[in-house]
Amino acid sequence: MLLVISAIVLIVPLACVRWRSNLQYAAPATEEQAVRAIELVKDWGTWITGIATGAIGVTGLLLKGRTNARPFALAAVSFLGLSIVLNTWLLAILPSLVLRLSATPTRDIYEMHLFDTVYAQGEESIRVGLVYDITHLYFVAGIASFAVAFLRNLEDPAVLKPDAVRKETTT
């Protein structure tokens, strides 16, 4: 049930997002500015991937066997995992963006097509900014789920008073 609600919460904002590239929204940049923007995207993507990987590890370590926080822990791992996959995809296309900068009139990397391949040319190609937005949305949802799972874990009596729980189960 939690995953269904989470999916709805994530899909509604995406329904309002521009999927296709449109040069009227592009921010004109020089080639140096665009290359610098790509470097910043690389740095931020690397940080998000590291933080998400660490949060997944901490989720597994701290919440192992805790049924109270399990649905939120699963949501956190799912969202953070999707964020890592999308970030990996974005990091993989950065060299392609640099190579295609001179062919882009405005050099706005967020309005560029994800890949200019035979099957995804023109208006049918998804823009880089959309995948970047979805990546951040999943990251934020994953961190929020992680926080709720951690707080739910604190409500668990075994965490608050481990000796009292052990005494109750042995008697």
Q: Which position has the token pair 């995809």? A: 89
Q: Burial level of 128, CB count in 10 A (0-12/13-18/19+)?
A: buried
Q: Is the predicted pLDDT of residue 123 greater than 80, yes or no?
A: no
Angle, in degrees to the nearest 10, between helices 128-155 and 2-15? 150
What distances in angstroms separate CA 108 from CA 85, 90, 92, 112, one per listed residue?
23, 15, 18, 7
Confidence class for position 6, pLDDT limits 50, 70, 90: low
Give the per-residue pLDDT at 83.
92
> What is the C-alpha to C-alpha distance for residues 105 and 20, in angstroms, rounded to an integer?
16
- DSSP classification of residue 106: S
Give the per-residue pLDDT at 163.
53
Confidence class for position 62, pLDDT limits 50, 70, 90: confident
Give the per-residue pLDDT at 47.
95
Over residues 70-87, mean pLDDT: 89
Q: Strand, coil or helix: what is 1? A: coil
pLDDT tens string 80-92:
999 999 999 899 9
Give the per-residue pLDDT at 119.
47
What distances in angstroms separate CA 68 from CA 2, 71, 73, 152, 157, one per listed residue?
13, 8, 10, 6, 10
- Write down the mean pLDDT value for the chain: 78
Give the per-residue pLDDT at 5.
63
pLDDT tens string 86-110:
999 899 989 988 888 887 777 888 8
> What is the C-alpha to C-alpha distance for residues 101 and 151, in angstroms, rounded to an integer?
46
pTM of the model: 0.76
